[in-house]
Amino acid sequence: MARRSRLEGDFKLRKTLRNIHTAMDNELRVAMQEAADLVLASQQELIPRDTGEAASALTAFVSKSGLDAQIGIRGKKNNKDLYYMRFVENGTKGYSGDKRAGNRKRRDTNKSNGGTFFGKYPDIPARAAHPWLRPSYDMNKEDIVRIIEGAISSTLARAAGELGNG
């Protein structure tokens, strides 16, 4: 459920930045971490809180080269335990009555969880969406672009200066 951000664009630029990373320290990782922290702070602010478990599972990860970042609920255990956050993010359809989508008849089986009987055709209400992943990125988009643009230009200028001197 993590929001993956990737530096997109020219493949030659990505290759050049990757080569610069192997040759010298670049400022891109620090800038990407700063941008990821901005988005993470917005996510922690916007995420709906019931128990607070999902908010505490939010993390930001930036690769060593600084070209990739993952922000949000990361990890196998967290994605398994917090699978329901996709329903909170996108909302649910809900249904009622004895007809399914496409005007098909629903099955006549009793709905229960072993202790509670819900009836043959329980009414399940639609749940409104409470988005927090995409808005957290959209709120900070201009700052992210400014931070990463500055880091790329300064890294390329520094690498060109070192190549010119060496």
Mark whether 17 and 61 lie in a shared domain.
yes
Domain count, the chain: 2
**pLDDT interval class at 101 (50, 70, 90):** confident
**Are 59 and 102 contained in the same domain?**
no
Q: What is the value of pTM for the model shown? A: 0.74
Q: What is the pLDDT of residue 109?
A: 74
Is the pLDDT at 131 greater than 60? The verdict is yes
Are 107 and 133 contained in the same domain?
A: no
> What pLDDT is stored for residue 1 in this prediction?
61
Which domain covers residue 136, as residue numbers? 3-92+128-165
- In this prediction, residues 138-164 reach a mean pLDDT of 88
Which tops the pLDDT comparison, 10 or 69? 69
> Exposed, middle or buried: residue 4 (CB in 10 Å: 0-12, 13-18, 19+)?
exposed
Return the sign of the alpha-carbon dihedral for residues 116, 120, 125, 129.
Answer: positive
* Residue 103 and residue 72 in one domain: no
**Amino acid letter at 97?**
G
For residue 59, name the pLDDT band (cuts at 50, 70, 90). Answer: very high
pLDDT above 60 (res 166): no
Same domain, 76 and 136: yes
Mean pLDDT of the chain: 84
